[in-house]
Amino acid sequence: MSERYAAEPLFGEGRPEFVDWVPHCGEIGMRCLRAGPRTATMMVPYRPELVGDPERGVVFGGVITTLLDQAGGAATLCSLPRIAPIATIDLRIDYLRAAVPGEDLHGRAECYKRTRSVAFVRGLAWDRDETDPFAHFIATYMLGSSDGEHPLERMAAAGSTGGSAR
């Protein structure tokens, strides 16, 4: 029997549904490039106002953390049989090198294991070439972190909207 994914109607290329409901994602221009079973790929376009080290032109670390946490959360949502609120329990980022100034930043996450209450996620961040990541991360997310409805629940129930990049 194949696994059922509640977010499946939202799978595909250029899915704004995975970021549009998060205000700080909009502020940094984040886009969901791709969502699929247990995976998500996000991108933040380079903008000078995101630079945290003006001398080197390197993007502020908080932008990278946001990119990877959002990718990890989306991958978690893409692994669930029923969409539910989630919360980050732990996020560890290991930087392999500095991101290249002036380049868009990409992050891809995979939810590789889920228990009844916790999801385990890993992923990479890259700039020019996916085979040369500047960071990798691992994270855990609490499942069903609140009694509230998740913003994607209604979108997935309504079916695919044929999403496109912003």
Give me the CATH number covering residue 15: 3.10.129.10
Residue % of the chain over a pLDDT of 70: 90
What range does the domain containing 88 cover? 8-154
Question: CB–CB of 12/160 below 8 Å?
Answer: yes
Q: 3 falls in which pLDDT band (50, 70, 90)? A: confident
Q: Is 163 within the bounds of a domain? A: no
Would you say residue 27 lies in a domain? yes
**Residues 71-80: pLDDT tens digits?**
999 999 999 9
Q: Could you tell me if residue 162 is inside a domain?
A: no
Look at residue 21 in the predicted model and tell me its pLDDT: 86
The pLDDT, as a whole number, for residue 102 is: 94
Q: Is the pLDDT of residue 141 over 90?
A: yes
Q: How far apart are CA 123 and CA 115, in angstroms?
A: 19
Distance CA 59, CA 45 (A): 11
- pTM score over 0.85: yes
Does the pLDDT value for residue 122 go beyond 60? yes
- Kindly list the strands in the beta sheet with 12-13, ordered across the sheet, starting from the edge strand earlier in the chain: 12-13, 31-36, 39-44, 105-114, 118-126, 135-143, 86-95
List all residues 6 or more positions away from 127 whose beta carbon is below 8 Å from its beta carbon.
Answer: 99, 100, 103, 104, 105, 106, 134
Reduced to 3 states (helix: H, G, I; strand: E, B; else coil), residue 158 is helix
**DSSP SS3 for 46:** coil
Q: Would the pLDDT of 5 be above 80? A: yes
User: What are the pLDDT digits (tens) for 59-109?
Assistant: 989 999 999 999 999 999 999 999 889 999 999 999 999 999 999 999 999
Does residue 109 belong to any structural domain of this protein? Answer: yes
Residue 2 placed within a domain: no
Task: Read off the pLDDT band of 152 (50, 70, 90).
Answer: confident
Give me the number of domains the chain comprises: 1
The pLDDT value given to residue 159: 66
- 134 in a domain, yes or no? yes
User: How far is Cα 36 from Cα 148, in angstroms, rounded to an integer?
Assistant: 24
